[in-house]
Homo-oligomer: A and B are copies of this chain.
């Protein structure tokens, strides 16, 4: 039985806490820590059977009985807590992104070298039933050689501008999932990025120095082309689709809905909207990613979504950012070189 500590009792920390307590047979959550631990959070911890509740995450790192930690705190603390947890010899599941600063990710990467620590990054969409099936179709050769990969990723509503300001920008905050998905779906690397951006949802997002709508085209290492389109607001809900087109055919996934009910009346034929947002849409994937993490610890096998899977989307995101500013395509290798990679 693996004892887990969760650092950060916000929305995603609670998701993982419940997942482990309910579904992950070989693991239990021994403790949860959050500097702003509320009575409600304490109550939540008790209700799911987590006995130890702290404000200071170091109590988790100091607990010898805890083998693994889930870092679910705010992004700016991910890398430093990662370093401390590595020192404490804990296996680590870190929410994405590890950091917006490549240097800090590289410090974590360095600290991991040769240490036998499992380090998994929380790109949960790889574990979603739809994306997994699409990826399997590509990987198994069902669509032949990949030619064009298209990802549509739109949120139901823009976050508050205060969030936008510290988010690192749309490419590091939102598109980062899609960059990971391009890598996952294609089995290839993104070599060059060209980004068009616009402020069409909320002018305040523009005032905050960010964009809310983007079309990002890419060249991949396997010769294929890719394109992502993002928007911070889709009136009909969370829109998450992918189409992979190849020499032998295409695989496409559509959104999940609450039910398959279709009503036909004098005004038309009406189906349900996509599930609202990531908690509704991706709940199963949160369970699956943490289960796999625990499984890797138990069987001492390498994690599939490791430190490099955390690093590369950040490099790509920075390339996209530069492309938006310069109005020219940017090679990922150019960004990598800036960091001696």
Asked if A236 contacts B266 (CB within 8 A), the reply is yes
Asked if A273 contacts B269 (CB within 8 A), the reply is yes
Q: Which of B130, B217, B262 contacts A252 (CB 8 A)?
A: B262
Q: Which of B137, B226, B250, B260 contacts A254 (CB 8 A)?
A: B260
Asked if A194 contacts B217 (CB within 8 A), the reply is yes
Complex CA–CA separation, A137 to B129 (angstroms): 28
* Residue A301 interfacial (CB < 8 Å): no
* Copies assembled: 4
A265 with B236: in contact, given A148-B215, A200-B224, A259-B133 (CB under 8 Å)?
yes
Asked if B227 contacts A261 (CB within 8 A), the reply is no
A261 with B194: in contact, given A25-B47, A229-B148 (CB under 8 Å)?
no
- Considering the complex, give the chain B residue whose CB is closest to the CB of A212: B147
Complex CA–CA separation, A293 to B59 (angstroms): 41
Residues of B within 8 Å of A249, CB to CB, are 235-236, 263-266
* Residue A38 interfacial (CB < 8 Å): no
Q: Which of B25, B245, B259 contacts A234 (CB 8 A)?
A: B245
Asked if B215 contacts A225 (CB within 8 A), the reply is yes
Residues 236 to 269 of chain A near chain B (Cβ within 8 Å): 236, 239, 243, 245, 247-256, 258-269
Residues of B within 8 Å of A272, CB to CB, are 133, 268-269
Asked if A253 contacts B261 (CB within 8 A), the reply is yes
Asked if B129 contacts A259 (CB within 8 A), the reply is yes
Residues of B within 8 Å of A231, CB to CB, are 147-148, 245
* Residue A150 interfacial (CB < 8 Å): yes
* Residue A81 interfacial (CB < 8 Å): no
Residues 98 to 148 of chain A near chain B (Cβ within 8 Å): 129-130, 132-134, 137, 142-145, 147-148
A172–chain B nearest beta-carbon distance, Å: 20
Residues 247 to 299 of chain A near chain B (Cβ within 8 Å): 247-256, 258-273
* Residue A302 interfacial (CB < 8 Å): no
- Considering the complex, give the chain B residue whose CB is closest to the CB of A156: B266
* Residue A22 interfacial (CB < 8 Å): yes
Residues of B within 8 Å of A267, CB to CB, are 270
* Residue A15 interfacial (CB < 8 Å): no
Residues of B within 8 Å of A227, CB to CB, are 215, 217, 227, 229
Q: Which of B215, B239, B263 contacts A217 (CB 8 A)?
A: B215
Asked if B223 contacts A248 (CB within 8 A), the reply is no
Asked if B253 contacts A259 (CB within 8 A), the reply is yes
Q: Which of B258, B268, B273 contacts A273 (CB 8 A)?
A: B268
Q: Which of B23, B196, B261 contacts A133 (CB 8 A)?
A: B261
Q: Given contact pairs A235-B266, A254-B262, enumerate 11 new A-B contacts (beta carbons under 8 Å).
A: A22-B23, A215-B225, A215-B227, A235-B265, A236-B269, A239-B250, A248-B266, A249-B266, A251-B262, A252-B261, A267-B270
A-B contact pairs, 12 of them (CB 8 A): A25-B47, A147-B201, A198-B224, A200-B223, A227-B227, A235-B264, A250-B263, A250-B265, A253-B260, A253-B262, A254-B260, A328-B329
**5 nearest A-B residue pairs (beta carbon):** A249-B265, A133-B261, A133-B259, A236-B264, A269-B271
